[in-house]
Amino acid sequence: MRKLALSDEILMQVEKPARYIGGEVNAVMKRKEQVKVRFAMCFPDVYEIGMSHLGIQIIYDMLNQFEDVWCERVYSPWVDLDAIMRKENIPLFALESQDPVKEFDFLGITLQYEMCYTNILQVLDLAGIPLLAKDRSEKDPIVIGGGPCTYNPEPICDFFDLFYIGEGETQYRTLIDLYEEYKEKGMGRAWFLEHAAQIPGIYVPSLYEELYNEDGTVKERKKLSEKAPDIIMKEMVKDVSDTYYPMKPVVPFIKVTQDRVVLEIQRGCIRGCRFCQAGQLYRPVRERNLEFLKKYAIAMLENTGHEEISLSSLSSSDYSQLPELIDFLIEECSRRKINISLPSLRIDAFSLDVMNKVQDVKKSSLTFAPEAGSQRLRDVINKGLTEEVILNGAKLAFEGGWTRVKLYFMLGLPFETEEDIKGIAELSNKIAATFYETVPKEKRNGKVQIVASTSFFIPKPFTPFQWASQCRKEEFLDKAYLTRKSITEQLNQKSIKYNWHEADVSVLEGIMARGDRKINQVILKAYEMGCVYDAWSEYYKNDVWMQAFEDCGVDPDFYTVRERREDEIFPWDFIDCGVSKNFLLREWHRAQEETVTPNCRKQCQGCGAARFGTGVCLEEKEA
């Protein structure tokens, strides 16, 4: 019988105590004396967010298939429990065994978004692990970071012993074998880190030094060990139908953000939107085969009891066997009374026909992501979506009975003009007008609802816009006010609702995204001053962050408002994500020329990903 780390008295004091007790359906229990390596897998956010993440479920399942490894889960305690743990001196614990995280061999932290960086320090602090890697001893776990933010690990490199760059299914076995050798031989931590650096995809930041020019830009990266590689190549699964995928995902006790079976149908995207980091990082597109997906869909539904299945992909419409997969799922799910969720579909006749079949009872809202209000700016960002296609999709949707449309746009995109911003209101108005033109008065069930939402553009590494400047908070807000004013001037303004994102958070995210090693001290300072859960608007403290920058003598504008020189060395240039810097620069120039680049299936652009010899790169191009 497990003894819980928290007493009944404490559990009664906190919101949602089921976050902390473990023991969920499909959670893996092992006997610790029968394993050699204990791995705590952490999502540095609250349980409901972390339990919704497919990547952790995949790595958790994979590691637990190794007989010598027990992987357990840990999440950031919510603010109520955080206060109690500090007051009562309770160490952070893993859910399965309820043992302190400090007793584990590895603490793996997934880095999905920049605004969780102070939560990393919260996890380390509550676990009793020194915040800085240089202060850790042989008794401390090896702290390893993975996930998309590791493609620029420099702003948080002081807190990690090593980073795993790329997809996690390929090198963990090698890393664990090395760890077991290090333990058996009684070698020091430095020996392990130096040898780990020679495993493909593993980056050990302590083996490098970053030197700067007088203007603050990176001068060079200096290796402090001959065993450290010059370039870290991302790790990638070449055959996504012959790899790890959980047949028995852990089922939470409480409702979480994504409370459903998730079926990842492909990795990567053929589209090449110039603002999108994931579209570059996960190249080339690799599809899972149909039989794999059918088998896993049935197994996961039977092993979880979930009442909904969702397809996961950057662009589901581009999956080549989508009609066959949908037919299979509709048949299986109607028999089992399971709902089907189909995100990231293009709104065309096929997609709407499918949605009609899976949403025959309740027509929820449809989502379009034009990203920009004008055709000119959509060409700049290579969105590959015309106004004609958008309006035709809306017409088909309204004919099919939908009355609510969500539209997603970005403000502050490179080369944006006032006319582009007004275009957001004009396009929203045209979609509303399409409803009134399409649906006869006697068949209308009330007004059409158009919800236009804008986020603020954040330049990300490994995109053509990594050279771009980012707006200041005040500029972002001016653009949001102009958008709102323009909507009030439209004929159908009463049918249009407008939402916008927080500007100050977007600026900080931009600093983290393209930051260098100088940002480590700012994050540490902000955490010491009380910043945590920055991704949650009710806990975000912009004034404290700005004070931390000032105290550390770091200028936020250096990372945001300046446009980068084309020959500038970026803090992340030592990583090879498969897409060449020359290709990204070429796309930056094409953006300035307002030129559209065809997608990967129509024409190869020589991005560099073909060297992996897999996926869409091996397909014959469409005529």
- Amino acid letter, residue 266: Q
Neighbour order of strands in the sheet with 202-203: 69-75, 37-43, 106-110, 142-146, 162-164, 202-203
Map residue 383 onto helix, strand or coil.
Answer: coil
Residue recorded with tokens 């995949």: 58
Q: Report pLDDT for 353.
A: 81
DSSP string covering 293-341: HHHHHHHHHHHH--SEEEEE-S-GGG-TTHHHHHHHHHHHHHHHT-EEE
Q: Do 306 and 401 fall within a single domain?
A: yes
Q: Do 353 and 484 fall within a single domain?
A: yes
Phi-psi region of 597 (alpha: psi -120 to 50; beta: other; left: phi over 0): beta
Please give the average per-residue pLDDT across 580-592, as a whole number.
98
pLDDT (tens digit per residue) in 482-507? 999 999 999 999 999 999 998 999 99
Q: Do 483 and 377 fall within a single domain?
A: yes
pLDDT (tens digit per residue) in 38-84? 999 999 999 999 999 999 999 999 999 999 999 999 999 999 999 99
Q: Do 287 and 389 fall within a single domain?
A: yes
Q: Report pLDDT for 167.
A: 98
Q: Report pLDDT for 582.
A: 98
Q: For residue 155, what pLDDT band results from cuts at 50, 70 and 90?
A: very high
Does residue 425 contact residue 489 with C-beta atoms inside 8 Å? yes
Cα gap 574→233, rounded to integer Å? 9
Q: Report pLDDT for 361.
A: 41
How does DSSP classify residue 615? G
Please give the average per-residue pLDDT across 258-280, as a whole number.
95
In this structure, how many other beta carbons lie within 10 angstroms of the beta carbon of residue 223?
Answer: 14
Please give the average per-residue pLDDT across 153-164, as a whole number.
98
Please give the average per-residue pLDDT across 409-433, as a whole number.
98
Q: Report pLDDT for 493.
A: 96
Length of the chain: 623
Q: Residue 331 to residues 204, 327, 356, 364: CA-CA distances in angstroms?
A: 49, 6, 14, 21
Q: Report pLDDT for 367.
A: 87
Q: Is the pLDDT of residue 383 over 60?
A: yes
382 membership: H or E segment, kind and range: none
Residue recorded with tokens 């589209």: 271
Least Cα distance to 464 among 373, 589, 563 occurs for: 589
Residues 160-194, buried b or exposed e (16+ Cβ, 10 A)?
bbbbbbbbbbbbbeebbebbeebeeeeeebeebbb
pLDDT (tens digit per residue) in 110-124? 999 999 999 999 999
Cα gap 210→61, rounded to integer Å? 37
For the record, the structure tokens of 523 come out as 């994050």
Q: Report pLDDT for 248.
A: 97
- Tell me the β-bridge partners of 218: 212
Question: Backbone phi, then psi, for 547, in 5-degree steps?
Answer: -65, -40
Residue 491 belongs to some domain of the structure: yes
Q: Do 267 and 218 fall within a single domain?
A: no
Q: Do 208 and 291 fall within a single domain?
A: no
Q: At what angle do helices 387-399 and 418-438 cross, to 10 degrees?
A: 30
How buried is 376 (Cβ within 10 angstroms: 0-12 exposed, 13-18 middle, 19+ buried)? middle
Average pLDDT of the chain is 95
Query: Which residues, including other chains, have CB under 8 Å from residue 86's CB and lie 6 or more apart?
Result: 126
Residue 473 belongs to some domain of the structure: yes
Q: Do 152 and 274 fall within a single domain?
A: no
Identify whether 284 is preceded by a cis peptide bond (ω within 30 of 0): yes
- Tell me the β-bridge partners of 69: 37
Q: Are strands 308-312 and 261-264 parallel, antiparallel or unpaired?
A: parallel
74 membership: H or E segment, kind and range: strand 69-75
Map residue 40 onto helix, strand or coil.
Answer: strand
Residues of the chain with pLDDT > 90, as a percent, come to 90
pLDDT (tens digit per residue) in 319-372? 999 999 999 999 999 899 898 888 878 877 788 888 777 765 456 678 889 999
How does DSSP classify residue 428? H
Residue 53 belongs to some domain of the structure: yes
In this structure, how many other beta carbons lie within 10 angstroms of the beta carbon of residue 131?
Answer: 18
Residue 111 belongs to some domain of the structure: yes
Least Cα distance to 536 among 505, 567, 571, 498 occurs for: 505
Residue 615 belongs to some domain of the structure: no
Least reliable range by pLDDT among 342-351, 371-380, 420-429, 439-448: 342-351
Q: What total of structural domains would you count in the chain?
A: 2
CATH of the domain at 544: 3.80.30.20
Q: Report pLDDT for 593.
A: 98
Please give the average per-residue pLDDT across 365-387, as a whole number.
93
Question: Backbone phi, then psi, for 165, in 5-degree steps?
Answer: -95, 115
User: Cα 275 to the chain's mean position, in Å?
Assistant: 14
Q: Report pLDDT for 342.
A: 82
Q: Do 276 and 217 fall within a single domain?
A: no
Number of H helices, E strands in the chain: 20, 19
Residue 250 belongs to some domain of the structure: no
Q: Do 209 and 274 fall within a single domain?
A: no
- Tell me the β-bridge partners of 72: 40
Q: Do 52 and 201 fall within a single domain?
A: yes
Q: Report pLDDT for 363.
A: 62
Q: Which domain holds residue 87?
A: 33-233
Q: Is the pLDDT of residue 287 over 50?
A: yes
